[in-house]
Chains A and B, each alone.
Chain A
Amino acid sequence: MTEQKTLSLNMGPQHPSTHGVLRLVLELDGETVVSTKPVIGYLHTGIEKTMESKLYYKALPCTDRMDYLSPMNNNLAYCLAVEKLMDIEVPEKVKWVRVILSELSRIKSHLFWLGTHAIDLGAMSMLLYAIRERESIVDVYEAVAGQRMMTSYVRIGGLAYDLPSDFEEKVRTAVKNVTNGLSDYEKLLTDNEIFINRTKNVAVISGEDAIAWSLSGPMLRGSGIKHDLRKANPYSGYENFDFDVPIGENGDAYDRYKVRLEEIRQSLKIINQALDGMPEGPYRAHVPGVVLPPKEDVLYKMESMIFHFKIITDGFEAPSGSVYHAIESPKGELGFYISGDGTNTPRRVRVRPPSFINLACIPALTEGGLFADVVCAIGTIDIVLGEVDR
């Protein structure tokens, strides 16, 4: 007598389509997926524990390395949470520069997502186009902070250095390159029959299910729920800008692709508005004892030098209590829950990782579907393993 059993297939940690070190154990019945079990933790770095043993300033570079596709957003979320804990108000110019850099990070992350998603589905040249446009954005990062990726430019109370003189020119070049590139991607993918066949009605999730699974970002907006933290709880001056929040209808992979493409366009709109109306002013808040004084003052004034020395060696004492601040990162709601305990190191730094929580719904997206759609489902969630495992 023959007995029918399911095939157990391991999509191991080293795989070209899993966007990092994600492992999926699939049970297959022919070509249909019966169950999916993700195994994560292959990139667990203990970032939260490391940040507990450092001063608030020195814990800042650890945040860059989590979502490494949009590092300025991580810095921004951490700095906003610490500024809320210490009750610091930043100058207007700082808010506008942070908005420009945050939107550039969003464009960079969405472009890279588009490149890797398309190459998984077979359109190999998209990755090269995406990397080409990414270079002009990375030029801006290099002009501003000297580093291509892990800049740590957004600091507690302001920015690391003042803006360089060619900042506006470089940002306008980047905006122009991305605008020209966008029309290329639309021509290549949006009406492409193969792309539509591979993404329409694949990895569908409805609106109520999306809320029950606590999804956020384009995953939630692709299912028709209009929720964006930049509009709902605005931070860092976003209430001054005029932009739309795109939503999808069916909650499938094609809708999420269209949502992300439209978000790139809205980001370009915000950057143009911000560049046109940039205010003048200092690039750091003046809170002696907490915020580092600007370097020009440190070299010439005595009190600034004393404060600088004290803050670098001893840090500042945080009050006893916990705060939570969330921003809209390209992956979803990125939040930092920081608990101070009266000493100069934090008691607990919890990162609310959008990729981890979005990844939990992979069984709901893939079970009952075809095996070839699993790759599309992983790609459409837009995960970054550095954030999933921390």
Chain B
Amino acid sequence: MGLEEKIPDSIALTTLDKMVNWARKRSMWPLGFGLACCAIEMMSTAGPHYDLARLGMEVFRPSPRQADLMIVAGRVSMKMAPVLKTLYEQMPNPKWVISMGACASCGGVFNNYALLQGVDRIIPVDVYVPGCPPRPEQLINGIMKLYEKVEKDSLKKPHEKWGRDIA
């Protein structure tokens, strides 16, 4: 009766937004930015037991120009903060940031002169994953939440955090 009956079986209908979001979330490549103890748990998550490659994060790119996702794993000291900002600015749009662990989210155990109290003071963060260090399952939960966030994106809306609209 409607248009759906006239279409052969091997065609699917969707919106452009959903297609683009599905492609973006299922092939995000993280930047290898392990700083301290949380980096060990991040490497564990990429290991054979809790596999990150099945979520699409097959390779950890060493260069920021080729990465989409920056997982800030570890404590950010005052000397490292300008380096972090430079790396974030070098990543091309679209990009996302996961702040992994307590030290990256809010300063953690160390509330003193040497550490930046939370990485969201210098770059915009999408998902915060608490823990010291977070278990691999917690990190994967954080990545799932990021997927939900990416699914809600739309090409029409400008993204202020990326500086200009994508459309």
Q: Are A44 and B37 in contact (CB under 8 A)?
A: no
Q: What A residues does B110 contact at CB under 8 A?
A: 45-47, 50, 62
Interface membership of B25, Cβ < 8 A: no
B131 to chain A, nearest CB (A): 10
A50-B112 contact in complex given A13-B80, A43-B77, A132-B48, C-beta closer than 8 Å: yes
A131-B34 contact in complex given A44-B114, A45-B114, A150-B133, C-beta closer than 8 Å: no
Interface membership of A386, Cβ < 8 A: yes
Size of the A side of the interface (Cβ < 8 Å), in residues, is 34
Q: Are A42 and B113 in contact (CB under 8 A)?
A: no
In the assembled complex, the Cα of A45 lies from the Cα of B114 at a distance in Å of 5
Q: What A residues does B34 contact at CB under 8 A?
A: 20
Q: Are B115 and A41 in contact (CB under 8 A)?
A: no
A291 to chain B, nearest CB (A): 24
Binding site secondary structure of chain A = loop
A65-B36 contact in complex given A128-B48, A131-B49, C-beta closer than 8 Å: yes
Q: What A residues does B127 contact at CB under 8 A?
A: none
- Closest A residue by C-beta to B36: A386
A42-B32 contact in complex given A68-B37, A128-B48, A150-B37, C-beta closer than 8 Å: no
A376 to chain B, nearest CB (A): 18
* 13-50 of chain B: CB within 8 A of chain A: 32-37, 39-41, 43-44, 47-49
B145 to chain A, nearest CB (A): 21
Interface membership of B87, Cβ < 8 A: yes
List the interface of chain B (C-beta within 8 A of A). Answer: 32-37, 39-41, 43-44, 47-49, 60, 62, 64, 74-75, 77, 79-80, 83, 87, 109-115, 132-133, 135
List 15 A-B residue pairs with CB atoms under 8 Å apart, sorted by A's residue number: A13-B83, A43-B77, A44-B79, A46-B110, A46-B113, A47-B110, A50-B109, A69-B40, A131-B49, A132-B47, A135-B44, A135-B49, A148-B135, A149-B40, A389-B77
